A and B are shown apart, each in its own frame.
Chain A
């Protein structure tokens, strides 16, 4: 796996901030950012359910494997030099349920979190 495409929500302030942070990190795998449900995303992935990608973060590898929600977050961590170890730790069977709960909680409340932290413009 050499490249990941991240379908992010351009309307969420937290996601934009995360995008900026990711851009600065050193990576082991190339990461491309495409706004979810955009024309570009539809052109690249004609068979994908684009309404679903608006609900949670989606990551697609260059050969078409789709990671959705908490799995997408883990894949993003895995792509980063400093956090690859953490992606395995958080994906371990003992921690995975907690990881999924925490990530879903953040994802579902991303607009409220953005508002509360002043990240939404």
Chain B
């Protein structure tokens, strides 16, 4: 196998493994948040969780495949490692960004679902109300 081909294959292997790892982590740990957001409605939480993870995979694999092209030729093993580290670094940054964005979405949904029904303060007093005829 030539050096460029093996560089691409290693890049794909590392990127796909990382994406799947982060995706599974999100899927596993995001569920608790979503169950809370949907007030214990497990079915809805699982459904939204799954849909979010699908979106996450699509965006990440899309990025990984778009970023595959190097644009220059690799001749030595050093160049291969440098190219790999750059590409994998970019994938990691995108994954990190997506991960933080997901967390933001989760926490935002959670906050939104917490509608408070009690008044902010105690009343000053009480008065009788005449019901309108």
- Docked pose: A74 CA to B121 CA in angstroms: 8
Residues of A within 8 A of B129 (CB): 44-45, 60, 62-64
A68 interface residue (CB < 8 Å to B): yes
A67 pairs with B124, CB closer than 8 A: yes
Q: Which A residues between 39 and 70 are near B, CB-CB below 8 angstroms? A: 43-48, 60-68
Interface string of A8-37 (1 = CB under 8 A from B): 000000000000000000000000000000
B28 interface residue (CB < 8 Å to A): no
A66 pairs with B120, CB closer than 8 A: no
- Docked pose: A90 CA to B21 CA in angstroms: 43
Q: Which residue of chain B has the shortest Cβ distance to A5 in the bound complex? A: B129
A75 interface residue (CB < 8 Å to B): yes
B128 pairs with A46, CB closer than 8 A: yes
Residues of A within 8 A of B115 (CB): 84
Q: How many A-B residue pairs have CB under 8 A?
A: 57
B126 pairs with A64, CB closer than 8 A: yes
- Counting chain A CB atoms within 10 Å of each CB, which of B116, B117, B120 scores highest? B120
Q: Which residue of chain B has the shortest Cβ distance to A92 in the bound complex? A: B120
B71 interface residue (CB < 8 Å to A): no
B127 pairs with A47, CB closer than 8 A: yes
Residues of A within 8 A of B116 (CB): 84, 88
Interface string of B91-133 (1 = CB under 8 A from A): 0000000000000000000000001110111011111111010
A65 pairs with B120, CB closer than 8 A: no
Contact for A91 among B121, B124, B125, CB less than 8 A = B121
B132 pairs with A44, CB closer than 8 A: yes
A116 interface residue (CB < 8 Å to B): no
Contact for A66 among B117, B119, B127, B130, CB less than 8 A = B127
A87 interface residue (CB < 8 Å to B): yes
Jot down 25 A-B pairs with beta carbons below 8 A, ordered by A.
A44-B130, A45-B127, A46-B130, A47-B127, A48-B127, A60-B127, A61-B123, A62-B129, A64-B128, A64-B129, A66-B123, A66-B124, A66-B126, A66-B127, A67-B121, A67-B123, A68-B125, A74-B120, A74-B121, A75-B120, A77-B120, A84-B115, A87-B120, A88-B116, A91-B121
